[in-house]
Amino acid sequence: MNKPERHIQAFIGHFLDLYKIASFNFINPHSYTKFRQIKSIKEKTRSTVFIETGTYRGVTTKRCSSLFEKIYTVELDENLALEAAAYLADEKHVKVIQGDALEALPKILEDDSVNNVLIFLDGHFSGGETACSNLPEPAIEELKIISKYSKKVKGIVIDDFRLFGTEHGFPTKSELIKAAESYFDGYEIIVHLDQLIIAKSK
């Protein structure tokens, strides 16, 4: 699929989401709708660095490449990481890391040059060709790690909130929210468009 076709498909998906929201028949947002939400949170928090877990093929990463000064994206599956790295090769400020996010996150966040960070957690098992670590959904463990670097973190977006408590191996929604409140006291915590959003209050 060429670039114009991708843009057309993204806008169609986004407008379908708007229709579903208006008709109260909204479940899983299109990836472009998720990107627009990331963009909105980026502007609200003035983040300059983006960290993503669950690269998949790099579509969200590519869209975000125009918004952030640095991007780190982590993909567990080796083949998907290679495919994404090839797709993102022209984006010199984007680094694709193949590995487990629970190991990669502290290494990234320990870097002194990594500050004003927005983190997008989407590294859960989704069936098919996606990889599965020991934890099908590691978001709570990721929040625990990220909290140690909270001075650097402006915001966190946890994707696919609807799946928590319904998919095998996923924490419940209440467990996720409780962890967010425990680790990020003083941050604004809301659920919007199938995402849990943790944003630093001004």
- The enclosing domain of 122 has a CATH number of 3.40.50.150
Q: Of 28-37, 110-119, 147-156, which range is least confident?
A: 28-37
Q: Evaluate whether residue 156 is within a structural domain.
A: yes
pLDDT-based confidence at 77, cuts 50/70/90? very high
Strands (DSSP E) contained in 56-141 are 70-75, 94-98, 117-121
What per-residue confidence (pLDDT) applies to 131?
Answer: 58
- Is position 18 within any domain? no
Specify if 169 maps to a domain: yes
| 21 inside domain | no
Q: In this structure, is residue 15 part of a structural domain? A: no
Which pTM was predicted?
0.84
67: burial class by Cβ within 10 Å (0-12, 13-18, 19+)? middle
pLDDT, position 21 = 45
Asked whether residue 2 is assigned to any structural domain, the reply reads no
Q: Which of 158, 152, 160, 201 is nearest to 179 (CA)?
A: 158
Q: Which residues span the domain enclosing 129?
A: 29-200
**pLDDT over threshold 50, residue 41:** yes
Residue 157 lies in a domain: yes
* Angstrom distance (rounded) from CA 91 to CA 55: 14
Name residue 70's amino acid. K
* Banded model confidence at residue 196, pLDDT cuts 50, 70, 90: very high
46 lies in some domain: yes
Q: State yes or no: pLDDT of 19 exceeds 50.
A: no
Q: Residue 79 above 70 pLDDT?
A: yes
Q: How many structural domains is the chain composed of?
A: 1
Q: Is the pLDDT of residue 106 over 60?
A: yes
Per-residue pLDDT tens digits for 60-71: 999 999 999 999
